[in-house]
Amino acid sequence: MTFSANLGFLWQELPLPDAIRAAKAAGFAAVECHWPYDVPARDVAAALRETGLPMLGLNTRRGAPGENGLSALPGRGSDARAAVDEALAYADAVDAAAVHVMAGFAEGDEAEAAFVHTLRHACAATDRSILIEPLNHYDAPGYFLKTTAQAEAIIAKVAAPNLKLMFDCYHVQLMEGDVTHRLKRLLPLIGHIQFASVPDRGAPDHGELSYAHAFGVIDGMGWAAPLGAEYKPQGPTAPTLGWMKQSFTDG
């Protein structure tokens, strides 16, 4: 089992190219990020080539201050498509495997229609994976996409082969529980798996969800891609990485 360092949370004190190098030195097999747009793509691409790490994904922009994505906001279709196009261009420049299209704060049928429209635009514009991710209502109150069932219905409605579910064990446990059964049932729809301790979003070595068990289930499902370590270290990242040496890793 291998892991991807989410550099939106890990090594935040470093410039993104140096964070990629730190992830390589720490033994991660891949990296992913949130919003890399202030860093020239050529610098990120150079660090990826230097380390040999793949970039698994990045997010569309959140929007204006206080927003958390644009794609499900009625009346913001032009802005949402522009954010998707920007993310896809950056993904092309760094060869990122996927783009997470962020829905934003919205609700109702008009919001769903807007989200579906934007996702169809995104999926038609690339062969890369397009990801959608349910977020919990503690960290992101009012976010449009809340549950795996809602995501499953939207994926069916869009009906594009490259639209996939980002299954974040942290968010799913807080909203729905029953993480391992949901992983097994939703496996055909899943494009990426992330994790953090529940409920504090720290390293996966404590909390109400046993990752020794969850990772074993994921491994037993035949999942071969790196799992995304999207947790918030309390202080420097390096002292929080002891979990990588536990029995559920390959090393």
| Residue of 67, 86, 110, 133 marked active site | 133
Alpha-carbon distances of 43 from 46, 108, 180, rounded to whole Å: 5, 41, 38
Comparing C-alpha atoms, which of 45, 198, 25 is closest to residue 33?
45
Query: Token digits for 140?
Result: 């992101």
Asked if 230 is an active-site residue, the reply is: yes
Comparing C-alpha atoms, which of 48, 55, 59, 52 is closest to residue 17?
48
Q: Are strands 57-59 and 129-132 parallel, antiparallel or unpaired?
A: unpaired
Beta-carbon count within 10 A of 210 CB = 13
Asked if 133 is an active-site residue, the reply is: yes
| Residue of 13, 112, 176, 230 marked active site | 230
Active site residues: 133, 230
